[in-house]
Amino acid sequence: MLGRIIRHELRNLSADRTLTLVVMIFALLIGYGLYNGATWVDFQRATLRAAGEEEIARIAGARAVIEEIDSGRSEVPRFADPRSPAFAGGAGGARYAVMPPGPLAALAVGQSDLYPYYFKVTRQSRQTFTGNDEIENPALLSAGRFDPAFVIIYLYPLLILALCYNLLSQEKEQGTLQMIMSQPVALRTFVFGKVLLRATVVLVPAIVLTLIGFLALGGEIFAEGAWWRCLLWVLVVAAYGLFWFGAAILVNSIGGASASNALALAGMWLLLVLVLPSLLGVAASTSYPAPSRVEMIQAVRRASAEASAQGSRLLARYYEDHPELAPAGGAPDMNDFYARSIAVQTETEKMMQPVMEYFDRQVLGQQHLSENFRFLSPAVITQAALNDLSGASAHRYRHFLGLVEQFHHRWLEYFNPRILRQARLTARDYDSFPVFAFKEEPAGAVVARVMKGLLGLLVTTAVVVWLALRRLRRYPLTA
Amino acid sequence: MINRNQISVARKEFTEMMRDGRFRWAAAIVLGLLLAALVMGWKHHREVSRQHEAARRETREQWLHQGAKNPHSAAHYGIYAFKPKMLPALLDRGVEPYTGVAVWLEAHKQNEFKYRPAADAAAVARFGELTASTVMQLLMPLLIILLLFPAFAGEREQGTLRQLLSIGARRTDLAIGKVLGVAGALGVLLLPATMLGTAALALAADDGAVGASAGRLVMMGVGYLLYFGIFVGISLAVSAAAASSRMALVVLLGFWIVNGMIAPRAAADLARQLHPTPSAFEFAQQIDRDMKNGLDGHDPADKRAQDLQRRVLAQYGVSKIEDLPVNFAGISLQEAEEHGNKVYEKHYSALWETFERQEILKRSLGVIAPMLSIRSISAGFAGTDFSHHRDFASSAENYRRVLVKAMNDDMTFNAGRSDYAYQAGPELWSSVDDFSYTAPTARWVLRRQAMSAVLLALWFVAAMGAAMGAAARVRVDV
C-alpha cells in the first residue's frame, strides 16, 4: 500500500512540476553556496601560503646577513642585527602560528570571517599580535555569506514547507481525501507515504549535492577527521529537515485550510529562524554584558604607562628574582632598552591579567548561555553543529588561542634569557627557534558537542511528530 | 481625489482588520518586538556613548599628563580615537558591530580599527540583531503581506467581489480603498511605536541632539514609508492577479524571502567577487614594499635619506650636520612621515575605493530587491554605514598627521644637538588641540543615498502602478 501511495504521489508531483522546480532551485542554491564557501577557503589558503613564503624568505635573509657580518663584509645597527636575540625574537625572526581551514571549511563559513587564522608571534605582548583581523568591508561582513550552511539553515526548511504546507489540506479541499479514505488505508499510512516521498526528494539531493560539490571543489574526504565530520554533517542536515517535515505534518493535522497552514508555517519559520535567535542574542549579551573593549584598551594603556614609569626599578627587581639571567661578566645594565622592556612587559601582563580574565569570562559566559539555550530553536542547534563540523566555531578558535598562548610562552622562554644575557645568535641558532604546530581539537570534544545538538534535534522532532500523530486520529475528513 | 466609495471601502477594511484576531496577534507581536528593540537600542546607545565619552576624555588626559618625554616618544605613545555614536544609530546599528571600536593614532603608522564587537559576541548574533531596523525591514513587510494577500483573491473566493462589482463599485476604487484601509491599520501600529521611539531618542539624547538629527530621522521615516508602500502595492497586485488566495500568499512569501533573505547575502557575495578585497597580509606587504622602495619602486629609503641630507645642508648653506641651526633628526623623522603618509594615502584610498565600489554594486542591485535600497538608506541616515566609518577614519588619520608633525617640528626647532635625549613637557602636549569630530550633515548623506532613494521611489511607483493595473483587470471568476 505504501508503495502505491508513493508511486501515486510521485506521479502527482511530477505532473505538477513542483518537484523538478524545487530540486532545481535547491541544486542551484547549494551550488552557489559551495562556490562561495570554496572561494573563502582558497582565500585563506593563499594568504597562509604567502605568509609561509614570507617567513622562509625573511629567515633566509637574516641568515645571509649574519654570514656577511661574520665575514666582515657588512655592518648593521643593533636594532636590525639578526644576531641580536631582541631582533630575532621580535619582527626579524618571528614565526607564524597558523590555524589552517578545517576539512569541511567550505560547507560553513561560520565565525571564521571574524576570527584571525594566523598570528605573527613575537616576543612582544600577546595583545600586540592577536589583533590582526582580516580586512573586510564591514557591510559585507554584516550581510553574512551565502554559504551551504546558510542554504541549509534558512532556505532548506522553506523548500520543505513549500512541498508540505498543503500535504492534507489540499486533498481535503479537492475532495480527494474522502475518496482515498474510503479505500482500505489508514490516514497515518497515507501521510507517511506522502512525507516519505517528499523527504527522499529533498534530503537525498541536499546530502548528495553537498557531498558531490564538496568533492568536486577539491574537498578531501580522506583527510584526517573528514569522514566522521561528513557523516555527522549528513545526520545533522537530515535531522533538521525531519524537524521541518514534522512541523508541516503537525500544522496539517490541525485541519486548517491551505492558506492558513502556509501562514502558520511561515510564522513558525520566522519565529524559530529569525526571532528566537535574535532574542537569544539579546539575552546572552544582557546576562553577561561583555566589558567594553573601549575600557579594556584604556586599562592596558594605564597598566603599561604605570609599568614604564617604574622601568628601571622593575628591571632591578627582575634581576633580583632571576640572578641567573644577568649578562656574563659584569653588572647588568639598568638602562638597557630591551632588558627594561622585558621587565615592563612582564609587569604589564601581570597587572592586566585580572582584567583580561574577567573579559574572557564574560565572553565565555555569553557563549555558554547561548549554547545552553540553543535547544529553544532547531536553527540555532543546527548553526552551532555545522560551525563545529566545519571548524568555524568559537570553540576551535579558542583552542587555537590556547595553543598560541603556549607557543608564545615557549618563545619568550627561548628569547628573554638570551636578551638579558646579551647573547649572540648564530645562523645555526635560527633552526632551534620554537616552531608552532597546529593540532586539531580532540575529535571526542567535537563529536560530543555535535551529538548533543543532534540529540536535541531528534528529541524535538520526535515530540512534534508524536503530537501530530495524536492529532491525526481526530482529523476531520471534510471541511 | 478620494471619493466616497473609496472611503467606505477603507472603513470596511480597517474595521475588519481591527476585528481580525490574526491581525491583532501579529500586530501585537510586531509592536512588542519593536518596543523591545527600541528599549535595547536605547540602553545600548546610552552605555556605549558613556564609555566612548569617558575613554575619549581619558585618552586626552593621558596625553596631557604623560610627563617629560622626547617628542618622538610622545608621538609613539599617541592617542586612541573612539567614534562617537550618533543618535539615530539606536534605530539601526548598521555596520557598527563589524567595525573595530577604536583606532590607535601613533607615529609612522596608519592603523586599522581594532576589536569588532561581533567577534566578541556569540555565534547566534549572526542570525541578526534585534533592532528597530530589523523589525521595520523584515517583519513589517510580512505583516503587510498577511493583511493583503486575500484582498482580491479572498473576496473572489467568498463571492463578495461579484456582489461589490454588481452594485457598481469601480475596481480601482476598491484598490484605493484597500490601500487606505491597510494604511490606517498600519498607522494604528506605527503611531505609538513612533511616539515611543521619539521618546527613546529624547531620553538617550544630550541637549539639542534630537533637533540636530531631526533631518536624518525624517529622511529615514520617508524611506520606510516608501518601503512599506512597495509591499502594499505588490501585495495588492499579486492578490488581484493570482488564481487563488493560496497562490497569492505563496508568491508573496516567495518575494519576501528573495527580498529579505537571499538578496542581501547574494549581493554581498557578488560584490566581493567582482571587486575582491585584498587580504590583510597582502595589504601590509604592499605598504612595506612601498615604504622601503619608494612609491615608484626606484627610490629606496637610504637614497631618500641621503638626498634629504644634501638638500637640507644646501638649504642652510652648511657642509656638516653638526653646523645646522635645526635638529636634523626631527627633519628626517618628518620627511619619513610625509613619505609614509603618501604610501598610506595610496593604499588606503585604493582599499576604500574597492569598498565603495562594492557598496555601489549592492545599491544598484536595489533594482531587484528594495531591501538593498532601504538597508542602505536606513544605515546611511542612522550614521552607521561604511561611508560614515570612512569619514571618521579619515578625520582620525588627519588628526594623527597633525599630531605627529607637531612633535617632529618641536624636535626640529627645539632639540638642538641633543636629538633623542631632548625632552619636551606639558606645554607641547597641550599645544596640540584635542581631537574632535563632527558627523556629516543629512544633505551629505542624501547625496550618497541618491541612487537608493531614486530606486526606492521607482519601486514605489511601479508597485502602486501594478496594483492599480492588476485591480482594474481583476476577474470575477477564474
Residue range B280-318, pLDDT digits in tens: 999 999 999 999 888 777 778 888 888 898 999 998 988
Q: Please state, in angstroms and rounded to a whole number, the distance separating the CA atoms of residues A253 and A247.
A: 10
State the nearest Cα–Cα gap between A301 and chain B, in angstroms.
Answer: 9
Once rounded to an integer, what is the mean pLDDT over residues A43-50? 95
A180: in domain: yes
Please give the pLDDT value at position B201: 79
pLDDT of B478 over the 70 cut: no
Which residue range is the domain that position A228 belongs to? 2-26+148-276+453-472
**Residue B104 three-state SS:** strand
Pairing of strands B79-82, B102-106: antiparallel
pLDDT of B400 over the 90 cut: yes
- Between chain A and chain B, the number of residue pairs with CB atoms below 8 A apart is 220
Please give the pLDDT value at position A329: 60
Identify the burial level of B159 via C-beta atoms within 10 angstroms of its C-beta, where 0-12 means exposed, 13-18 middle and 19 or more buried: exposed
pLDDT of A232 over the 80 cut: yes
A50: in domain: no
Q: Note every long-range contact of B208-215, with CB atoms under 8 Å and residues 24 or more positions apart, other chains counting.
A: B209/B87, B210/B87, B212/B87, B213/B86, B213/B87, B213/B88, B215/B441, B215/B442, B215/B443
Where residue A477 falls among pLDDT bands split at 50, 70, 90?
confident
- Interface touch B59/A298, C-beta < 8 Å: yes
Q: What is the mean pLDDT of chain B?
A: 90
Please give the pLDDT value at position A291: 67
Please give the pLDDT value at position A378: 95
Q: Please state, in angstroms and rounded to a whole number, the distance separating the CA atoms of residues B257 and B255.
A: 5
Please give the pLDDT value at position B435: 93
pLDDT of B2 over the 80 cut: no
Range with the lowest mean pLDDT among A81-95, A347-361, B325-339?
A347-361
Select the residue from A147, A294, A358, A363 to test the B interface by mutation, using most B Cβ atoms within 10 A.
A294
Collect all residues of chain A within an 8 Å Cβ-Cβ radius of residue B347. none
The residue ranking higher by pLDDT, A285 or B60, is B60
Please give the pLDDT value at position B167: 84
Where residue B231 falls among pLDDT bands split at 50, 70, 90?
very high
| Torsion angle (degrees, nearest 10) of CA A271, A277, A282, A285 | 170
Query: What is the count of structural domains for chain A?
Result: 1
Residue B62 in contact with partner chain A when CB distance is under 8 A: yes
pLDDT digits (tens, 9 = 90+) for B71-127: 999 999 999 999 888 888 889 999 999 998 889 999 999 999 988 888 888 888 888
Collect all residues of chain A within an 8 Å Cβ-Cβ radius of residue B386. 137-139
Residue B469 in contact with partner chain A when CB distance is under 8 A: no
Please give the pLDDT value at position B298: 77
pLDDT of A36 over the 70 cut: yes
Where residue A204 falls among pLDDT bands split at 50, 70, 90?
confident
- Interface touch A137/B269, C-beta < 8 Å: no
Collect all residues of chain B within an 8 Å Cβ-Cβ radius of residue A261. none
Complex ipTM: 0.90
- Interface touch A50/B282, C-beta < 8 Å: yes
Judged by CB atoms within 8 Å, which residues 93-122 of B form the interface with A? 94-95, 97-102, 112, 114-122
- Interface touch B142/A139, C-beta < 8 Å: no
Q: Name the residue among B33, B54, B272 with its Cβ closest to that of A275.
A: B33
Edge-first strand listing for the sheet containing B109-110 = B79-82, B102-106, B109-110
User: Per the structure block, which three cell numbers stand in for B261?
Assistant: 533573505
Once rounded to an integer, what is the mean pLDDT over residues A115-121? 94
Where residue A330 falls among pLDDT bands split at 50, 70, 90?
low
Do the beta carbons of residue B453 and residue B377 sit within 8 Å? Answer: yes
pLDDT of A219 over the 80 cut: no
Helices and strands in chain B: count of H runs, count of E runs: 19, 3
Q: C-alpha distances in angstroms, B206 versus B36, B54, B57?
A: 22, 15, 17
Q: Please state, in angstroms and rounded to a whole number, the distance separating the CA atoms of residues B316 and B326.
A: 9
> How far does Cα B172 stand from its chain's mean position?
39
Collect all residues of chain B within an 8 Å Cβ-Cβ radius of residue A160. none
If we measure between CA atoms, which residue out of A370, A368, A377, A369 comes closest to residue A398? Answer: A368
pLDDT digits (tens, 9 = 90+) for B245-258: 888 988 999 999 99
Please give the pLDDT value at position A182: 84
pLDDT of A292 over the 90 cut: no
Please give the pLDDT value at position B154: 85
User: Per the structure block, which three cell numbers stand in for B4?
Assistant: 466616497
- Interface touch B130/A305, C-beta < 8 Å: no
In the beta sheet, which residues pair with residue A98? A118
Share of chain A above pLDDT 70, in %: 96
pLDDT of B457 over the 90 cut: yes
pLDDT digits (tens, 9 = 90+) for B166-219: 888 888 888 888 889 888 888 888 888 888 888 877 777 766 667 778 889 899
In chain A, the residue whose alpha carbon lies closest to the alpha carbon of B253 is A266
Please give the pLDDT value at position B44: 85
Phi, psi (degrees; rounded to nearest 5) at A292: -70, 145
pLDDT of A328 over the 90 cut: no
In chain B, the residue whose alpha carbon lies closest to the alpha carbon of A281 is B125
Range with the lowest mean pLDDT among A62-66, A214-218, B229-233, B258-262?
A214-218
pLDDT of B361 over the 90 cut: yes
Share of chain B above pLDDT 70, in %: 99
Collect all residues of chain A within an 8 Å Cβ-Cβ radius of residue B80. 297-298, 301
- Annotate A394-447 with DSSP letters as a single string: HHHHHHHHHHHHHHHHHHHHHHHHHHHTT----TGGGGGS------PPPHHHHH
Q: Name the residue among A111, A262, A294 with its Cβ closest to that of B52.
A: A294
pLDDT digits (tens, 9 = 90+) for B48-79: 888 888 889 989 998 999 888 899 999 999 99
Please give the pLDDT value at position B87: 85
Residue with cell 635619506: B305
pLDDT of A169 over the 90 cut: no
Please give the pLDDT value at position B163: 84
- Interface touch B282/A133, C-beta < 8 Å: no
State the nearest Cα–Cα gap between B284 and chain A, in angstroms.
Answer: 10
The residue ranking higher by pLDDT, A319 or B279, is B279
Collect all residues of chain A within an 8 Å Cβ-Cβ radius of residue B116. 114, 133, 138, 141
pLDDT of A400 over the 90 cut: yes
